[in-house]
Amino acid sequence: MLTFIFSLEGFLPTFVDLVIWGHEHESRIRPEFNPQQSFYVTQPGSSVATSLSESEIAQKHVGILKIYKNNFKLNPTPLRTVRSFAMDHITLKDHNITQTDKNIELKIEKILIEKIDKMIAEIERNKFHCEKRPIKPLIRLKVDYTDFETINENRFAQKMLDKVANPRNVLQFHR
């Protein structure tokens, strides 16, 4: 069931049969029944990845709504021309590197590139064929760099130009 922080659904009148939430990123296209209000709720989500967050990973859809008298049916239709998006996490401590390693920045870059290449390969294995889908995917790799320094993100972005659609923000560093 859809849950909102402020329980916005509680402010809606009970004579409503279907609520369509707009301006939300996560796609929850199939109508879900709200037993407190006795209506259905659908949240189609954005048609493209806009925030590069976990809620954007799922397949994007539009819905075709059919209404007959007091009944409705919402048929989800997957969008086939949306750019692929993958997100993952990596912790530098989990790899065989230390702050005293010679060429540590190059070693970290190599680890990150290998991880991104695996993410791209996974996208290629799982996506269905569609000639109109953009070739370069959106990738977000969250990097826990506790006990390490960050790398030169501009230089790293240059290495990602031919691989991803978002080379400047492919990495998200955190401790």
User: Residues spanned by CATH 3.30.110.110 within the chain?
Assistant: 85-174
Question: If you average pLDDT over residues 56-75, what whole number do you get?
Answer: 90
Question: If you average pLDDT over residues 115-140, what whole number do you get?
Answer: 85
Q: Is the pLDDT of residue 40 over 90?
A: yes
Question: If you average pLDDT over residues 22-26, what whole number do you get?
Answer: 81
Beta bridge partners of 73: 66
pLDDT digits (tens, 9 = 90+) for 76-97: 998 888 888 999 999 999 998 9
Is domain 85-174 in CATH 3.10.440.10, yes or no?
no
pLDDT at 47 (0 to 100): 83
Is 32 in contact with 41 (CB distance < 8 Å)? Answer: yes
pLDDT at 136 (0 to 100): 93
pLDDT at 48 (0 to 100): 82
Short-list 64, 76, 73, CA closest to 29: 76
Q: How confident is the model at residue 129 (pLDDT cuts 50, 70, 90)?
A: low
Q: What average pLDDT does the structure give for the chain?
A: 88
d(CA 155, CA 136): 19
pLDDT at 4 (0 to 100): 45
Tokens 């912790």 found at: 91
